[in-house]
Chains A and B, each alone.
Chain A
Amino acid sequence: MKKEQIEKIVHDDGIGMSLIVKTVARMMIAVILLFGFYIIIYGHLTPGGGFAGGVILAIAYTLMMLALSRKIALEKFSDFWASFWDNIGMLSFIVIGFIGLSVGYFLYNFLWHGEPFHLISAGIIPLANISIGIKVGACLYAIFIGLSIYGRVIVKEEEE
């Protein structure tokens, strides 16, 4: 398939679903993102943590791609940036480990511990949660982009 044909499939006509779905989705995406950040940041106090919060972040962008159109979602957060933030998340987790290595052990808890049950406590654990949350969110969104775009390309090829 030629490049411009693939471009036309990837960026579809930008219509999306009906008006009611679009209005509700536009309100819900902000709330879902906020909820995801809450679960990531309070990961050392309440259940959840990096992975669960990251999945919720990815759900917000997936909702954007389903309800609004694929073109609008890719304009806001394209596949290049998704894999970029994926790598940044993983790199920051490993760099935290290596900084711990220079102080004591690998993945040593080198920041101040604070008092229990407060938000800023427990050393590197909130930082690790944030980096895992960014990584998992970007990674699941990138998987969704890959599967959905590639599926459209195969179906269009078959119709020809």
Chain B
Amino acid sequence: MQNVMLPLSVGLPLLVSVVILLIGKFWKSIGKLFAPICGLVVLVFAISLIDASDGIYWMGGWPPPFGIVLVLDSLSKLILLTVNVVAFFALLYSVSYMKHYTAQPKFYALFLLMLAGMNGVVLTGDLFNLFVFLEVASIASYALVGFGVEHEELEAGFKYLILGSIASGMILVGIAIIYNLTGTVNMADAARFIVNMGTNRALLFATGLFLFGFSLKAGLVPFHAWLPDAHPSAPAPVSAMLSGVLIKALGVYAMIRVIYSVVGAPQMMLEMILWLGVASALIGGLMSLGQNDLKRMLAFSSISQVGYIAMGIGIGTPLGIAAALFHLFNHATFKGLLFLSAGSIEQSTGTRDLRQMGGLMKKLPVTSLSTLVGSLSISGIPPLNGFWSKLLIIIALIQAKAIVPAVFAIVVSFITLAYYAKLQRFTLFGPLPDMYRKMKESPFLMLVSLIALSVICIVVGLFYPYFMDSLFNPAARAIMDQTGYISMIIGG
């Protein structure tokens, strides 16, 4: 059944982005008006697609091995929902945050291009189309990181640009090798050939290249060098998007889709993902203990949490994958919330240095409450959502007899609690320095986004069995079922 909302989720942000650029020459405030409306429309599409049955869409009317096909299965529904929720609230936040920056139509155009690229990555069923949309989203994010053109932002953006381009090149070579082996770039068709092929060293090499490329996009540990520079330097809504959804939609989702649905999850690659996850969790947690910059601490914490998600994926059992997807959704919401609050704090106090802040609870009540909710969620305090997802990952690790990663996961969970306690003590509690006596609360639209994301954190935490059954368990079952994926697209 051909679902028409699938190409609209990709095509509508592209159209609105071009319209904003065109009219933005004459009327500068067009971006503030149209971009949140477009974000809301795509969010409504994503929410209404949760109840829809699994479907495909033939682009241009061409059937699958000849044409590009857009696929909607349970995993795509989940990631689409995650991406669009965080994108809508970041757009709403940026309407009042971006007042201090010039060239506002270009910001909204680039943001909507990034959103269109991410929706395309999530929905596509064709390997080369995945590469094209990955590049669209990546190039938009390279330009957005250096948007406010100061010294450190340019340096961080340049570093991110070079490393990201190398990763995309590796992914292209992997796609070339799979095309050489199977004769097609369609994901389901290639999967059908690979299932009949058996072990093949060229295929393992291609999977290794994919692992390299997607781990660099996701920020796993030997490939994380761009992340602590790029995420703090971007403007706050862009940081929330980068750290919340871009590393997950481009890195983790694409890794899951290629390694589980196309190549068929060889055991050696899954073990490698597990150990990369352990290294990321440990190194991200340890590095973030010694940071004094608020957003840089949050960026290292992102590396650590993506390590948890990679640990869950590397196990290979349905509980592990469902727990990893639950942690992915949770991390998108609470890391987006934390970065938006950090932007609000930075705008009110004018600094990002933790040693110069203190006692913000008295002057900025809403921002402090949302920072508190975010920090408690990510540390794993019940009944907020972070506790359940971390508990499920540790249970899945112990059930799969991977004891050493489970021990590391528990240790890193304590380290996470430690540095978020440090963050709360330095920003929220403690004495208020004199220069901040005249601080005011942030504007209304920024507060709306913060409150909405906090509410999502609390609600998902309280009612998590409902969400597990409706969203995460079907997605995990859809990932493990490679033959179901093939038969949905090509038809057996």
| B18 close to A100 (CB less than 8 A) | no
Selecting from A20-28, A33-41, A69-77, A102-110, the interface stretch reads A102-110
Which residues of chain B come closer than 8 Å to A87, judged between CB atoms? 18, 21-22
A80-B60 in contact given A90-B18, A106-B11 (Cβ < 8 Å): no
Give the contacts of B451-487 with A (CB-CB under 8 A).
none
- Give the contacting residue for B22; candidates A91, A100, A101, A106; CB below 8 A: A91
With contacts A84-B22, A84-B25 taken as known, whether A109 is within 8 angstroms of B15 at the C-beta atoms is no
Taken together as a complex, chains A and B put the C-alpha atoms of A83 and B15 apart, in Å, by 16
B contacts with A: majority SS: helix
Q: Give complex CA distance A90, B97 in Å.
A: 29
Residue A94 at the chain B interface, CB threshold 8 Å:
yes
Chain B residues 227 to 264 lying within 8 A of chain A, measured CB to CB, are: none
Q: A94-B15, A100-B60 are in contact. Are A106 and B21 (CB under 8 A)?
A: no
B100 nearest CB across to chain A (Å): 22
Q: Is A88 an interface residue (CB 8 A)?
A: yes
Whether, in the assembled complex, A98 has its beta carbon less than 8 Å from a beta carbon of chain B, the answer is yes
* Nearest Cβ on chain B to A93's Cβ, whole angstroms: 9
User: Is the Cβ of A109 less than 8 Å from the Cβ of B60?
Assistant: yes
* Contact status B61-A104, CB under 8 Å: yes
Q: Provide the residues of chain B in CB contact with A98, threshold 8 Å.
A: 11, 15
Chain B window 1-34, contacts with chain A (Cβ cutoff 8 Å), 1 for yes, 0 for no: 0101001100100110011011001000000000
Interface residues of A in 58-100 (CB under 8 A from B): 80, 83-84, 87-88, 90-91, 94-95, 97-98, 100
Docked pose: A80 CA to B19 CA in angstroms: 16
Closest residue of chain B to A87, judged by CB? B22
Q: Are A107 and B18 in contact (CB under 8 A)?
A: no
Q: In the complex, what residue of chain A is closest to B16 when comparing beta carbons?
A: A94
Asked if B59 is at the interface of the complex by the 8 Å CB criterion, the answer is: yes
Complex Cα distance A91/B21, Å?
Answer: 10
The answer, yes or no, to whether B133 is at the interface (CB within 8 Å) is no
Bound form: Cα–Cα A106–B8 in Å: 9
Contact B60 A107 (CB under 8 A): yes
Residues in chain A near residue B14, CB distance under 8 A = 94
Return the chain B residue nearest A97 by Cβ: B11
Q: Are B22's CB and A105's CB within 8 A?
A: no
B58-72 CB mask vs A (1 if < 8 Å, else 0) is 111100000000000
* Smallest CB gap from A91: residue in B: B18
CB contacts (< 8 Å) of B15 on chain A: these are 91, 94-95, 98
A106 touches B25 (CB 8 A): no
A39 vs B8: C-alpha distance when bound (angstroms):
32
Give min CB distance, B93 to chain A, whole Å.
27
Contact among A88, A90, A94, A105 for B60, CB-based, below 8 A: A105
CB distance from A52 to the nearest CB of B (A): 18
Contact of B61 among A90, A94, A97, A108 (CB under 8 A): A108
Q: Is the CB of A91 within 8 A of B60?
A: no
Contact present for A105 and B11 (CB under 8 Å) = no
B61 proximity list for chain A (CB < 8 A): 104-105, 108-109
CB distance from B129 to the nearest CB of A (A): 12
Q: Separation in Å of the B143 CB from the closest CB of chain A?
A: 13
Within the complex, the shortest CB–CB distance from A118 to chain B, in Å, comes to: 22
A83, A101, A105, A108 pick with most chain B CB within 10 angstroms = A105
Which chain B residue lies CB-closest to A106? B7
A97 to B18, CA, bound (A): 14
How far apart are the CA atoms of A104 and B25 in the complex, in Å? 34
Give the CA-CA distance A100 to B60 in the complex, in Å. Answer: 8
Closest CB in chain B relative to A124 CB, distance in Å: 10
Task: Name which residue of chain A comes closest to B2, CB basis.
Answer: A105
Residues on the A chain within 8 Å of B4, using CB: 101
Q: Is the CB of B18 within 8 A of A94?
A: yes
A88's nearest neighbour on chain B, judged by CB, is B22
Residues of chain A lying within 8 A (CB to CB) of residue B59: 105-107
Quote the shortest CB–CB distance from B366 to chain A (angstroms): 39
**Contact between A80 and B25, CB atoms less than 8 A apart:** yes
CA A107 to CA B7, docked complex, whole Å: 10
Residues on A with beta carbons closer than 8 Å to the beta carbon of B57: 105-106
CB distance from B118 to the nearest CB of A (A): 18
Q: Which residue of B lies closest to A109 (CB)?
A: B60
Chain B residues whose C-beta falls within 8 Å of the C-beta of A88 in the assembled complex: 22
Nearest CB in chain A: distance from B216 CB, A: 27
Complex alpha-carbon distance, A97 and B68, angstroms: 14
A77 to chain B, nearest CB (A): 16
Contact between A101 and B7, CB atoms less than 8 A apart: yes
Within the assembled complex, what's the spacing in Å between the Cα atoms of A109 and B60? 7
Contact of B11 among A84, A94, A109 (CB under 8 A): A94
Which 10 A-B residue pairings sit nearest by Cβ, starting from the closest?
A106-B7, A87-B22, A105-B61, A107-B60, A91-B18, A108-B61, A90-B18, A94-B15, A87-B21, A104-B61
What are 24 A-B interface contacts by the 8 Å CB criterion?
A: A80-B25, A88-B22, A91-B15, A91-B22, A94-B14, A94-B15, A97-B11, A98-B11, A98-B15, A101-B4, A101-B7, A101-B11, A104-B61, A105-B2, A105-B57, A105-B58, A105-B59, A105-B60, A105-B61, A106-B7, A106-B60, A107-B60, A108-B60, A109-B60
7 new A-B contacts at CB < 8 Å, known A101-B11, A105-B2, A105-B57: A84-B25, A90-B18, A94-B14, A101-B8, A105-B59, A105-B60, A108-B61
